Structure 1
Amino acid sequence: MANDANLNTQKKEEEHNKIKGVFSLQTLMKVGTGTTQRKTIQKNYWFAKEVENDMIEVQPLNVNYVPSGPKKLISKDEFLDKFSPEPEFYTYTVYPKMRELNKTIARADRHRKRGETYSAEFEYKNALNIDEENIRANFGLGLTYLERGDKEKANDIFERLVKLDAAFEAEHKHLFNEFGINLRKQKMYDQAVDYYSRALELSPNDENLHYNIARAYFGQNKIDQTLAHLKKALELNPDLEEAKKFIEFLEKKRLIPEGTINTITS
């Protein structure tokens, strides 16, 4: 028990000592041309978080002082060499704005779960006014439109999300899955195929993505593509029962030759 307590204490200390907060990066800029050219120092602010293997994940702050846009990884040595801590700026400006943004999204989520779609839309839009690339807010607003059957507005959100790599990261998996399912439920099969294709570019060996895109292709009545992705799903995970049952369903409907499932699983 004592060893467990010591281990927990050590882990907490390690987490506490990890880099996290707002840092500034100064870059030298040349302004003007010829004899009027002069040098000026530009200061940009970044939100930084230490991750695995002595790497630091950095993300720029937007004009509203919240982390927004693409993240990138740099080594800890490079980070410590180039970035300067801004603890007061983080404590008094950035952290309160991040907290308020998260509270706004949480309110929107509660409205959506209660079926209060117009209140949810209002709060999600408030969040996007602060951070237009916020993944949770974009997914939430898109789901709100899909649940309301507003396909035109949902398509606008789809086009925004499909361009954002961060939308398909593991931390957003549940929202990502829910959005794809709702696209298919609304018979937005073209968008669903594009959506899952984009995800497969980033995670080509995810059997569930292959299964989901197979269902979207089936909605388009593209049986060859449906079967190809079901086969790939089973190649990646031979125990994926949903894929097996889907193939058996295709056999019963005489959309593919009988015995296809036996050929694949033997």
Structure 2
Amino acid sequence: MLKPMVQLLGVIALGYVLLCATIYAAQERLLFFPEYDPPGTQYNVGWPVEEAFIPVEGATLHALWFRTTNPAGVILYFHGNGGSLRSWGAVAPDFIVRGYDVVMVDYRGYGQSSGSISHEAQLLADADAVYDWMLARYPEEHIVLYGRSLGTSLAAWLAANRQPRLLLLESPLYSVEAIARRQFPWVPSVLLKYPLRTHSWIERVRCPVVIIHGTDDTIIPISDGEQLAAHVTAPLAFYRITGGGHNNLAAFDLYYHALDIALGTPRQP
């Protein structure tokens, strides 16, 4: 009886190892959903826009740069894990009408950005390079970091290591590690290539922090945002949008109220 039992345990162990290996190899396909934009793609959001190509190690990131007259500051916007600037560019007018320039960047393999994402350190280094590109064009005290969903981790990491004016987080991650633990509790955290522990970075942020989260978010539950807020040591404003989901917060008046308080009300034409 002992030998069959040992064989069974061996088969189970082998199956577990193979399953973990599959999850490890598939992380990029599970986490990132890029959309490709061919050269010459038009980005029409009702506002003049310049395109920029920002060099990073081994690749080039494509960015949209919206400029205003006498800007009150500049928003550096990190978007979520799907799509490209072709769709994300539509959010820029919410900031432009409040008198801000906006820079939005596609991650590697998204839109017209070259290369591919391979590990967390690379993502963070790319964000750092984009910030340096910003510093060559704007005083640091004019920079506002805005993160949406996955992009909240990059924005929080930058805010922890730089000195922007403000950090705005929409539907923020506590960490990818926490999400993976809920969805794949049997996978050891050590296998995660993108733990993106936002909570550990936000503790070091010193600029004011604004968090906006929907109570009905089924992708990143509001409890993640609330737990993240508990790690904030800087001045904090937390806006709970009742009935808000993961992708529809702009349908609620409270979203614009939060922007008005943080950035100022829209300028008159």
Common topology (TM > 0.5): no
Say which structure is richer in helix.
1
TM-score, with normalisation over the residues of structure 1?
A: 0.31
Superposition TM-score, scaled by structure 2 size: 0.30
Higher relative contact order by CA 8 Å / sep ≥ 6: 1 or 2? 2
More strand by share: 2
